Structure 1
Amino acid sequence: MTTITMTSQRSERPPWLRNVFQRGWRMGILLLLLVASLGMAPLADAQADTDREMATAAPGISAEQWRQVRSGETGPNYRDSRFDSNYNLINASGETWRQIRNRWVSPFGLIAIGGMIVVIALFYFIVGRKHLDEPRTGRKLFRWSLLMRSLHWTVASLFIVLALTGLNLLFGKFVFRTLFGDAVWAWMISASKVLHNYLGPLFGVLLVVLLISLLKDNIPKKHDWVWFKKAGGLTGKHHPDAGFANGGEKAWYWLLATVGLVVVASGFVLDFPNYGQSRDTMQWANIIHAVGALGLTAVALGHIYIGTIGTEGSLEAMTTGYVDETWAKEHHNLWYEEVKDQAMSEEEIAALKSNSSGDASASKPS
C-alpha cells in the first residue's frame, strides 16, 4: 500500500517539474565534483615541487651531503644498515626515484582519478542512468552463486581499502597533516601502512582465485569487437550482442589479469624485502606498483559506476544473485537465449531458497 501511495504522488508531479528536480540535484553533484577536482590542483603542484617535498620529508639534508653522495664517498654516517651492502644510506638513485615519483607518478594519479570522476559526473549529468527499455517481467534468472558473490565483494572491499590507504600514503601528507597536525597524521599513516602491507598479499591471492573462476566466461569472442564499436549500446538502435560477460566486462577482467597481477607482483617485491632484491629493484617496483595501482583505481571508478547507479538492474546481480529477464535480454542476449527456460518467479525462488537453506544453487546453471 505504501508503494502505491508513493507512486501515485510521484505521478501527480508535472513532467516539467520532475525534470527540474532531476537536473537540479544532478547539477549540484556535478558542481561538487568539479570543485573537488579543482582542489586537486594545489595538491598536484605540491607533489611536483620536489624541493618543497624534500623540505617536509628530510629537512636536515644539506648540499654538502648531496655532494658526498654523488661523488661516491661513503662513511659511517651514510652507510646502509644492511649486512654486506655497498649502498649509501642517502643515495643518488633514491633521488632519481623521488623525482620520478613526484614529477610524474603523483600528478599522473591525480589527473587519472580526478579526470575519471569528472567524466563520470558529466556522463551522468548529460546522459543519465541507463534504464531498461522494456518493463520488467518479474521472472528471474540465476546469475551468480553465493560463493562467487562473496568472493567478488571480498576482493572489491580489499581493493577499496588498498586504494584508499595507497592514496593516503602517496598524497595524505599534503592534506591530513595540514588539517589535523602531526599526531593524527602519524596515526593515520601508520594505520595505512599496516593495512596496505598486510591486506595486499591477501588481495593478491584472492584476485588469482577470482580470475581463475571467471576465466571461462571471459574468453574474447568476435561479437565483443562489435560491442566496442557500438560503445556498449550507446550508439545504434539496438544493444550489441553479449554472452554471459559483455565486451566491457571482459576488458576489465583482462585489465585485472594483466595490470592487476603486475601490481600484485610488484607489491610482493615491496612487501617482502628479505629475498635479496636490491634497493634499485625495490625503487622500480615502487614506481611500477604506483602507476599500475593508480590506473586501475581510475578505471575501477567507471566499473563501480556502471555496476551500481549507472545501469538499472546491474547491482541486483551481485547482491541477490538473480537478474530480471528483461535485463538479461537487453544486456546479455546471447546468454539469455541459453538460459531463458530456467526463469523463475520470485515465489519459486523464495520456495527454492527455503528448501535449500540459502542459495538456490551451488553453481551457475549451464
Structure 2
Amino acid sequence: MYISNAWPGFWRVAVFTLALLVGLGVAQPVLAQADPAGEAATAVPALDADTWRLVRSGETGANFRDSRAGSNYNLVNASGERWRQLRNRWVSPFGLIAIGGMIVVIALFYLVIGRKDLSEPRTGRKLLRWPLVVRAIHWTVASLFIVLALTGLNLLYGKFVFRSLFGDGFWAAMMSGTKLIHNYLGPLFGILLIVLLARVLKHNWPKKHDLAWFKKGGGMVGKTHVDAGFANGGEKVWFWLLATAGIVVIASGFVLDFPNYGQGRDTMQWANLIHAVGALGLTAVALGHIYIGTIGTEGALEGMTTGYVDETWARDHHNLWYEEVKDEAIPEEQLAAGGKPSGGGEEPTPRSG
C-alpha cells in the first residue's frame, strides 16, 4: 500500500525535471541572441550632437535622407522651421493688426463722421445699376468670401480660442470640418471671382477724374462735389485689388489645394505664406467695402439687392454716369408694377467709367 502511493509522486518529479531540462535547452539560443554585448556590436550608434549638426547642415548621406514620396529633403528640414517662424512671428500678427485695425477705424469713422446721407430727398425715380446676373454672381462670391474668411481665420487663430474654451475633442472636430469647407469652397470661389471680375471690368478702367476723386478723399476734403462715373475711384481700387492680390490668393490656394502636380515642400511653404498674407489683407479691406456698401452710405445697398438706385443717390455718388442715363429713369410705382426702363434694362451704360 505504501509503494502504490509513492509512485504518483515519483512520476510528477520525473516529468517536471524533464520539462525543466527541455526548457533550458530551448532557451539557450534566445539568451545568446539577447546578449547585451552582441546587441551593442550590431546596433546603430547613438545620434550625438555632431551627427545632428551634419544632418541640419545639409548632409546628404543615405542615413540622413528622407525618401518618402521621392523627397530629397534631409531628416531635419531647416526650411520648415523658417516657415514656422515667418508664419507665427510675422503673418499671424499682421493679420491681427490689419483686421483689428480696420475694425477700429470703421468704428471710429462711424462714431465721428456717421453715415453718408443723401443730400436731397429721394425723387422716387429709379435707375438700373446692376442686372440680375451680376447681382447673383456678386452675392455668391460675397457669401463664399465670408465663409472662406471665417474658416481661414479659424485655421490660423482658432486653436488659441476654441481649443482652450471647449477642449481638444471639440477643437479637433471643428478644425477637420473647417479644413474640409475651406479646401472645397476655395476653388469655386476662385472661378466665380474671375467670372465676376471679367463681367464688370469695363466699368473699372482708370479715368482722369479718378485722380480728383482721390485728392478730395472721395468728397470728404472740401465742400465741392467730386465727379465719378459708373464706378468711383474707391470702387476701382477695390476691383483692382481683387484682380491682382485676389488672383494671387486664388493661385496660391490652388497650389495648396492640389499638392500633386510636382510642387515641393518649399513651394508649398511659400504658397502658404503668400496665401495667408494676401487673404488677411483682402479681408481687412473687405470690411471697409462692406461698411461703405451697407450702413455707411444711404441707398448703396439697394443697388445690389434690387438692382436699382434712386436718382438722388446717382447724382450724389456717380454724377457723370447719372448724366448719361437720367433719361432712362423709371417711376418707382411703374417699377413695382413690372415696368422696365428704356433699352430693356439689361446692362447699365458704362461710358463714363
What aligned pairs does 1:275-354 form with structure 2 within 5 A after superposition?
Answer: 275-352=261-338
User: Residues 65 and 102 from structure 1, CA distance in 2 versus in 1: closer, same or farther, beyond 3 angstroms?
Assistant: farther
1:188 to partner: Cα distance: 1.2
What aligned pairs does 1:28-43 form with structure 2 within 5 A after superposition?
Answer: none
Contact 2:151/2:181 (8 A) holds in 1 = yes
What aligned pairs does 1:1-366 form with structure 2 within 5 A after superposition?
Answer: 67=53, 69-72=55-58, 79=66, 81-82=68-69, 84-88=70-74, 90-352=76-338, 361-364=345-348
1: distance between equivalents of 2:188 and 2:235? 23
Contact 1:227/1:247 (8 A) holds in 2 = yes
2:166 maps to amino acid? F
2: distance between equivalents of 1:138 and 1:106? 48
Aligned length: 300
2: distance between equivalents of 1:174 and 1:71? 34
* Percent of residue pairs bearing the same amino acid type: 74
1: distance between equivalents of 2:300 and 2:63? 61
1:163 maps to amino acid? A
2:92 maps to amino acid? S
User: Residues 236 and 159 from structure 1, CA distance in 2 versus in 1: closer, same or farther, beyond 3 angstroms?
Assistant: same
1:364 to partner: Cα distance: 3.0
Q: CA RMSD in A?
A: 2.2
1: distance between equivalents of 2:112 and 2:279? 29
Q: Which runs of 5+ in 2 are unaligned?
A: 1-48
Contact 2:56/2:74 (8 A) holds in 1 = no
Q: Which runs of 5+ in 1 are unaligned?
A: 1-62
Report Cα offsets for 1:30-88 as digits up to 9, x if no partner: xxxxxxxxxxxxxxxxxxxxxxxxxxxxxxxxx99975641446778972521x22114
SS for the counterpart of 1:244 is coil
User: Residues 337 and 286 from structure 1, CA distance in 2 versus in 1: closer, same or farther, beyond 3 angstroms?
Assistant: same
1:235 to partner: Cα distance: 1.2
**Structure-1-length-normalised TM-score:** 0.78
2: distance between equivalents of 1:96 and 1:278? 15
**Structure-2-length-normalised TM-score:** 0.80
Aligned residue in 2 for 1:51:
none
User: Residues 94 and 223 from structure 1, CA distance in 2 versus in 1: closer, same or farther, beyond 3 angstroms?
Assistant: same
Structure label with greater radius of gyration = 2
2:152 maps to amino acid? G
User: Residues 275 and 225 from structure 1, CA distance in 2 versus in 1: closer, same or farther, beyond 3 angstroms?
Assistant: same
1: distance between equivalents of 2:67 and 2:109? 52
Contact 2:55/2:75 (8 A) holds in 1 = no
